[in-house]
Chains A and B, each alone.
Chain A
Amino acid sequence: MNASLLSRGHLSSEAIDLLLLAALSPPEANEAKQHLDGCDECRGRWTELNADKQRFEQFVFARTLPKVEARVAESRAGFFERFKLRILIPVLSVAAAAGVVASMGPGTQTEDDVYVGIKGSADASLEVFAVRGAGGGVFPVTPGVTLQPKDRIGFMVNPAVAKYLMVASRDGAGVFSVYHPFGAQQSQPVAPAKVKVELPTKVELDATLGAERVVAVLSDEPVTAQQVEAALEADPANPKLPGVRFISTEFIKVAP
């Protein structure tokens, strides 16, 4: 925040919001807190906004995030959506019939012994699909499929009854990334769907070549990116975390 925190002797609404969001620099945060200590009016507004924050985080966020994502997906059909009805569904239907989607493919799904958190999650699944080039067709990413840098991939996930979801990756150089929610530090609430939903995230692949493993991380409690990274580091093909279900698939990235 570049503007002065104080305006006509009080903290602006933005300054208080940024303080609550922990988005002020340490010096700014200290200045704002010092002002709050000596200003009844601003402290009253901070208390009111903090109560709103608690209400939002406890009761509103988990319920509305999937709605926002769905509305956004509807409001502007992306490249996958434009192809979905004509190409993707038939392609995936064929792929599913052949038993090649991640949830069904042999060796691609981790039914680890430590998974104890989610009952009735047998239908949970992860499907990865891709588009190559401008106007290219959508094709399913199945085990052993080769992709190329700049291919764009998307995800369809059935979270079943899981309450939290993350899609993460470990690429050919061993670099870990969170694809959905992109760059998040922990898994995010997801509405139990029991049907496949297309995630809004679309990722353009970088130039790192080799085998890249993509995992859907399903759980009843939030899981940190650090935990998932460690699990993938320890055993990329069969990651394990207590109370977590991993569904994974792998593709090979090659030069064009």
Chain B
Amino acid sequence: MELGVHSNERVSTLYRKFGTAIYSRCRRLLKDDALAEDATQEVFVRVHKHIESAPDDATALAWIYRISTNYCLNQIRDRSRQAEPTAPDEMPEHGDNASPEVDLLDRGTAMKLIRRAPEKLQEVALLYYVDGLEQEQVASTLGISRRTVINRLQEFVDRSKKFVNREGAS
């Protein structure tokens, strides 16, 4: 049958198909079950707002990833404005021979540093270090040049190094 389907139904279909992946992503970013559940719902409400530009189901996950990333990073930023100073045991640990760049290859460490990074660096760092995208893919996803991606990653590493050194000395 040739049927037109209301956008609400498309969102329901996407939720049934990708809700679990987005919930998992929100849970990893927010590190809180209840917040992740709420965030997942908010993400799909936002999906509905932009449903006209949604790609087909084969590539929709990456698109919804982006929406969930923006939402969760905003949540993290909102929370960090009210956050207390980070406890020392939450800081990344660095041995004498380990450089921050090497440690950033660890997703957990990268996530802790991303939470403290400037807004413009967060998304690039998250896509690169946490999602494991290549620089070209990060550039394509964000609609920026690869050079910009490289610059922002370098800035992220430099800032993180200063942060770790400062916190490590305290």
Option from A18, A45, A78, A184 in Cβ contact (under 8 Å) with B6 = A78
- In the complex, whether A117 has a CB less than 8 A from a CB of chain B is no
B158: shortest Cβ distance to chain A, in Å?
A: 20
Option from B12, B27, B49, B65 in Cβ contact (under 8 Å) with A14 = B65
Alpha-carbon separation in the docked complex, A69 to B6 (Å): 12
Alpha-carbon separation in the docked complex, A69 to B11 (Å): 8
Please give the number of chain A residues whose Cβ is less than 8 angstroms from any Cβ of chain B in the complex: 53
Contact B1 A61, beta carbon cutoff 8 Å: no
Contact A78 B3, beta carbon cutoff 8 Å: no
Residue with the greatest number of chain B CB neighbours at <10 A, chosen from A18, A180, A182: A182
Contact B132 A7, beta carbon cutoff 8 Å: yes
B35: shortest Cβ distance to chain A, in Å?
A: 13
- The interface residues of chain A lying within 8 Å CB-to-CB of B6 are 78, 200-203
Alpha-carbon separation in the docked complex, A51 to B37 (Å): 15
- The interface residues of chain A lying within 8 Å CB-to-CB of B62 are 14
A200: shortest Cβ distance to chain B, in Å?
A: 3
- In the complex, whether A8 has a CB less than 8 A from a CB of chain B is yes
User: Provided the pairs A18-B61, A65-B15 are in contact, do residues A177 and B21 lie with their beta carbons within 8 angstroms?
Assistant: no
Contact B132 A11, beta carbon cutoff 8 Å: yes
- The interface residues of chain B lying within 8 Å CB-to-CB of A184 are 13, 16
- In the complex, whether A156 has a CB less than 8 A from a CB of chain B is no
- In the complex, whether A119 has a CB less than 8 A from a CB of chain B is no
Contact B132 A71, beta carbon cutoff 8 Å: no
Contact B41 A71, beta carbon cutoff 8 Å: yes
B1-36 interface with A by 8 A CB criterion: 1-9, 11-13, 15-21, 23-25, 27-28, 33
Option from A20, A65, A72 in Cβ contact (under 8 Å) with B16 = A65
Contact A10 B132, beta carbon cutoff 8 Å: yes
Contact A61 B5, beta carbon cutoff 8 Å: no
Contact B19 A61, beta carbon cutoff 8 Å: yes
- In the complex, whether B130 has a CB less than 8 A from a CB of chain A is yes
A180-200 interface with B by 8 A CB criterion: 180-184, 188, 200
Chain B, Cβ-Cβ closest to A69:
B12
User: Provided the pairs A72-B48, A182-B5 are in contact, do residues A7 and B134 lie with their beta carbons within 8 angstroms?
Assistant: yes
B109: shortest Cβ distance to chain A, in Å?
A: 13
Chain B, Cβ-Cβ closest to A150:
B4
Alpha-carbon separation in the docked complex, A18 to B1 (Å): 29
- In the complex, whether A238 has a CB less than 8 A from a CB of chain B is no
Alpha-carbon separation in the docked complex, A183 to B49 (Å): 22
- The interface residues of chain A lying within 8 Å CB-to-CB of B132 are 7-8, 10-13
Contact B130 A13, beta carbon cutoff 8 Å: yes
- The interface residues of chain B lying within 8 Å CB-to-CB of A175 are 1
Chain B, Cβ-Cβ closest to A149:
B2
A203: shortest Cβ distance to chain B, in Å?
A: 5
- In the complex, whether A233 has a CB less than 8 A from a CB of chain B is no
Alpha-carbon separation in the docked complex, A52 to B131 (Å): 16
- In the complex, whether A171 has a CB less than 8 A from a CB of chain B is yes
- In the complex, whether A75 has a CB less than 8 A from a CB of chain B is yes
Residues of A within 8 A of B (CB): 1, 3, 7-8, 10-14, 17-18, 20-21, 23, 45, 49, 52-53, 55-57, 60-61, 64-65, 67-69, 71-73, 75-76, 78, 152, 171, 175, 177, 180-184, 188, 200-208
A-B contact pairs, 13 of them (CB 8 A): A14-B65, A52-B24, A65-B15, A68-B15, A72-B11, A76-B48, A171-B1, A184-B13, A188-B16, A200-B8, A201-B5, A202-B9, A203-B6
Residues of B within 8 A of A (CB): 1-9, 11-13, 15-21, 23-25, 27-28, 33, 37, 40-41, 44-45, 48-49, 58, 61-62, 65, 107, 130-134, 137
